Amino acid sequence: MKKMQKVMVCLAILMLLACSLSAAVSASSNTQDGIRVDILTAKDTYAANEDIEFHITVTNTNNFTVKNISVSALLPEGLTLKSGPLSKQFVNLAANGVETLTVIAVLEEQPGSSETGDTSPSDTGGSASSSTGSATASGSGDTAGSETGSSASFLTGETTTSKAGSSTSTTKSTTAGGVVITNPSVPLAPGLYTPTPQTGDSLRYGMLFPLILLFSLIGITLTLRFHIKAKRAISLVLCLCVMAGALGFFQFSDSLAADPPSFESEHTITAGGNSYTLTVTVAYNALPVFAINLTVSQDEFLTSGRSEPVYFYAEYPDGAGSILLMSDNDTVMAEMKDDGVYGTSGDDIENDGIYSCILMIDLSEENILYFYAVVTDDDGIRSDMVVIYIISAFTDSELADIQSVDDAIAALLASGEYIAADTETRKAMAEELLNQLAEEGLILAESLFYDEDAEIFTFEYKCGMLGGLILEDFDGCDGPEDTGDDLPVLGDPPLPPPDNGGSGIESAVILNAFEDTPYRREMYAQPKADWEDRGLATTLITAVTVPVIKDLKGYDIIWFAGHGVFIKYISAGVYTNDPLWLLNEELSGAADKSYSIDLKQQRLLHVNGATYAMLPSLISASYNQMDLHNSFVTFSSCQIMGSKGNISDSMANAFLNCSVRGFAAYHNTVFSDYSYGFMKTYLDNLIQSESTLSAFTSSLIEHGNNDIEWLKKEYLSGNLNISPLNYARLLVEHLPAYPCFRGDTAAKLVESTLQNGSFELSSTPVRWKTFADVRVITQLGDLNPTHGSRMAMLSTGIGAAKEDYIASFAGATQGSILQQTIKLSDDVDTLSFDYNMVSEEPPEYVGSQFDDTFVAEILDVNGTLLKQIVYMSVNTADWLPASGFKLTIGKDSGRPAWQTSWQSVSVDLTPYRNQIITLRFLVFDRGDSAFDSAALIDNVAIK
């Protein structure tokens, strides 16, 4: 018995020591797991009393969503927080998503210090997707009426030091979330994920172990001192303690796995002659390894009385005997195939590493469905969840209620009494109407909110969608020209001579949602004319509708011109801040029904009973993470970056999460001439092949750091024909509007080096322009990339299309294109790449009119052919057998595939130095489109 007691005592002590060690380890986690944190400042040396802006950007570089991320900053002793929160938490950070926390600090006040009069913009959140950092133009503004101003700070993307290194977690998970079936009477609101509990259990177990230790020590003492019966009783207690300790250990070990890992980054600056280090801690849920990239053809549906097919695609480069599509309750829904039998499995090319299946989705009622994919022959290999939302369209009764509210609001705003009233009277009249509508049950009383700063009422209709009533007109956005003075519209300065012809191959779209007045019409027609003269294909859209907003893929420059306002509103019972951008699409019941999903999800709202407006979530829902990877976005609108020192990055984040390369917009209400002139110069500079940083900085120098600086300069130069009284009024009443930039400060519209030549950046051809069926794959049967793990494929298959670009090739029917435009340097020598043409036409149709063709060529800035590098066709190639795949869809047996084998090409580029060229690859059917061909491209390089 004594030996057993001693053994039990030893076990108890060892168990308690193990628990104690485990608790200590839990406090020293240090990992990144694909989560990157960048800390950016405008410079590394600051004077005493000078604002120090720390922009802390967290980027999820994984291909799956990471949940429950929190970021916190610790200011070093000696620096005082001036504005901005020191911590932020967000439930989900999507793949390639970014979030920013901006902290403005100042060295503790030194003798003789002073402060400026105006408040400068300070970030409450933001984004910067590039590892080089983000940039922002902001400043402290001018004291009203003062002739002196402070210059804007502009982040240049300085590097930071990370303590964590770049270790990657290898934790595997086979668990899945639960299916949620929503109550049809409850509108679906953004944010449908449930956070995982994290910290409570750890704290509870952490306090349990000292108690176990205490009781165990008492038990040991009593056991050694008292009667044998007591020893037996206490031995029993000791056994229980040991069991409790073991249970506690295992539970605590589980809690360790649930505790969020964290890592630190720090950034050091010098202020007032001393060094100060900001330490940032990022914590997040432990990451599973998602080796499968699962996507879906459509993830939102309106309810109907039928079922609809949905295509699921799983990219799994390692290959698998079987991949299963699972529901969140671990039920097998379908087997995913890489068989090329499109009609059965939804897979159009055999053995390309993409597994597919078709699932019929019941659309009879509102629902939220969760799915994941799992490899059956390698337990634990799985994908992240994909979610499908089924949402009911508005009923006729709901549409009638919506119309009643809109009619009442429109009637109020059109009444003579309202038009003649001042702001306070308008507010009282609007509040009375909205309260009446709430009493009638047409709007939800608890959702009614008035934003004093924006002078806008927001509310939810009975059906759950958002509405807004803006008290004032948008005259404040126009500025001096609306003061009643005789002010001519400022024209554009002539553009400099084209730099080797301009960019020619690129395209731009201008979305002019302003009122159709000669002033606005002429203003935004001018860049279209200028850019088209320079060879830039430019589209001007003056009817800006919701479908237009959702169809912006393929444009290099996207310029939003319309009214914006930064609002606070209540969504699902939570106060939210967001910029609102007004379209000029008139409301209608038919459109409401068509837009039911976006309206119910509160991405769109009705404004003033007259027009639609969008929130940033409309962009997030409309585009996937790589859809806008070549685009530069600007807004000539008020308050897209927030107002009155409260910077909002939600619109910037929405675009950057779709891989936009640069985003520029204004903080505060901005004068229209400054707004237009600044963005036009910035975009002109981009067209001239400047980087975003250079283009933005040059525009700051030309137009001023804010619109008050611009106003002073133009007025004192005699360029503004306004009275001294109105000039003084604007200085006093108008807060300076600051241009802000987010994104990659080194990005160019036309890069000077070839980008992503081995196609390794993503499963889509990032930085390349594509037409029709172009994809990035890891294999094609037995054919593998020549460099890295990915290659591009152009196909004449299911995604190919007949376009004007192949009209010059006689007999061409359908095909696809991959191209990239580069501004060559003065020391460039060669272009090289690898290609392999594959086809199902040989050998039977060699020598016939069915002559599928692959072409590689170099074009000049105007699209004129400079050199044909490769011309390969069914009739001209030497064909070798290929195996392991078929291209033609819907053929169970398929035709034997043939290949040219990998060929390497090297081209002399010295004749084209200092020119803008386009490297273009084409593959197309010729004669018919019965059997398919494709071209594999890899290892493209310019040296």
Whole-number Å distance between alpha carbons of 99 and 91: 11
DSSP assignments along 302-344, one per residue: E--SSEEEEEEEEE-TT--S-EEEEETTS-EEEEEB-S--HHH
Q: What is the DSSP string of 628-672?
A: TTT-EEEEESTTTTEETTEE--HHHHHHHTTT-SEEEEEES---H
As given in the structure block, the two tokens for residue 28 are 């020293």
Distance CA 414, CA 326 (A): 55
Percent above pLDDT 70 for the chain: 73
Q: Do residues 39 and 55 touch, judged by C-beta distance below 8 A? A: yes
Q: What is the Cα–Cα distance from 372 to 332, expressed in whole angstroms? A: 10
pLDDT at 550 > cutoff 50? yes
CA distances in angstroms from 669 to 91, 113, 683, 736, 748, listed in the order given: 31, 30, 21, 8, 28
Q: What is the pLDDT of residues 767-823, one digit of tens each?
A: 999 988 899 999 999 999 999 999 999 998 877 766 555 656 777 788 899 999 999
Does the pLDDT at position 381 exceed 50?
yes
Contacts of 89 (CB under 8 A, 6+ apart): 68, 69, 70, 71
- For residues 56-67, average pLDDT: 74
Which of 316-330, 400-414, 480-494, 843-857 has the least mean pLDDT? 480-494
Instruction: List pLDDT tens digits, range 523-538.
Output: 999 999 999 888 889 9
* pLDDT value of position 89: 65
Q: What is the DSSP letter of 804?
A: G
pLDDT value at 934 more than 50? yes
Structure tokens at 881: 């057998």
**One-letter identity of residue 33:** D
pLDDT in tens, 409-429: 999 999 999 999 999 999 999
Taking all residues of the chain, what is their mean pLDDT, rounded to a whole number? Answer: 78
> Considering only 70-74, 591-595, 788-792, which range has the smallest mean pLDDT?
70-74
Lowest mean pLDDT among 487-501, 775-789, 833-847: 487-501
Predicted confidence (pLDDT) at residue 878 exceeds the cutoff of 50: yes
* Contact (Cβ atoms closer than 8 angstroms) between residue 56 and residue 100: yes
188 has pLDDT over 60: no
Residue-wise pLDDT for 30-48, tens only, equals: 457 778 888 888 888 888 8
CA distances from residue 475 to 26, 489, 671, 905 in whole angstroms, order as listed: 58, 16, 9, 60
Nearest alpha-carbon partner for 445 in 460, 432, 455 = 460
Phi-psi domain of 573 (left: phi exceeds 0; alpha: psi -120 through 50; beta: other): left
Say what the pLDDT of residue 260 is.
60
Residue 748: per-residue pLDDT: 94
Q: Residue 357 and residue 348: Cα distance in Å, rounded?
A: 11
Query: H/E element holding 881?
Result: strand 880-881
**Listed residue (658, 698, 659) closest to 678, CA to CA:** 698
8 A C-beta contact, residue 527 and residue 680: yes
Q: What one-character-per-residue DSSP string does 53-93 give? A: EEEEEEEE-SSS-EEEEEEEEEPPTTEEEEES-SEEEEEEE
Q: How confident is the model at residue 467 (pLDDT cuts 50, 70, 90)?
A: very high
**pLDDT above 60 (res 751):** yes
Which carries the bigger pLDDT value, residue 633 or residue 1?
633
393 vs 65: CA distance, rounded Å: 29
Question: Which of 200-209, 496-505, 845-854 ranks highest by mean pLDDT?
Answer: 845-854
> Is 100:654 a contact under the CB 8 Å cutoff?
no
**pLDDT for 475 beyond 60:** no
Half-sphere exposure of 243 (CA within 13 A, CB side): 6
Do the beta carbons of residue 761 and residue 767 sit within 8 Å?
A: yes
Phi, psi of 83, deg, nearest 5: -160, 165
- pLDDT at residue 498 above 80? no
Average pLDDT of the segment spanning 561-573: 92
Mean of pLDDT values over 93-97: 70
pLDDT, one tens digit per residue, over 143-158 is 233 332 333 333 333 3
Distance from C-alpha of 640 to C-alpha of 581, rounded to nearest angstrom: 8
Give the angle 63-774-544 at the CA atoms, nearest 5°.
80
Q: What radius of gyration, in Å, describes the C-alpha atoms of the chain?
A: 32
Strand, coil or helix: what is 813?
strand
- Spell 450-467 as b/e; 16+ CB within 10 A means b: bbeebbbbbbbbbbbbbb
Distance CA(151)–CA(142), nearest Å, equals 10
Query: DSSP readout, 131-153?
Result: TT----EE-----TT-S--PPPE
pLDDT digits (tens, 9 = 90+) for 630-648: 999 999 999 999 999 888 9
357/235: higher pLDDT: 357
Percentage of residues in the chain with pLDDT exceeding 90? 51
pLDDT of the residue at 132: 32
Q: Cα–Cα distance between 828 and 302 in angstroms, integer?
A: 54
Summarize pLDDT for 204-259 with one digit per residue, the tens: 334 444 444 455 555 555 544 554 444 554 455 444 444 444 444 333 333 333 45
| Contact between residue 676 and residue 523 where contact means Cβ atoms under 8 Å apart | yes
Total length of the chain = 943
Amino acid at 628: L
In angstroms, rounded to a whole number, what is the distance separating the alpha carbons of residues 933 and 715? 65
> Which range scores top for mean pLDDT: 244-248, 283-287, 383-387?
383-387
Write the DSSP string, 189-222.
Answer: -S----PPP-SHHHHHHHHHHHHHHHHHHHHHHH
The pTM score is 0.72
- Point out the least confidently predicted range of 266-280, 763-777, 838-852, 878-892: 878-892
Burial of residue 592 (number of CB atoms within 10 Å: 0-12, 13-18, 19+): buried
Lookup result for tokens 């053995």 = 351
Q: What is the pLDDT of residue 288?
A: 56
CB count in 10 Å sphere of residue 156: 16
Q: How far apart are CA 817 and CA 805, in angstroms?
A: 9
- HSE at residue 18, side-chain half, CA atoms within 13 A, is 16
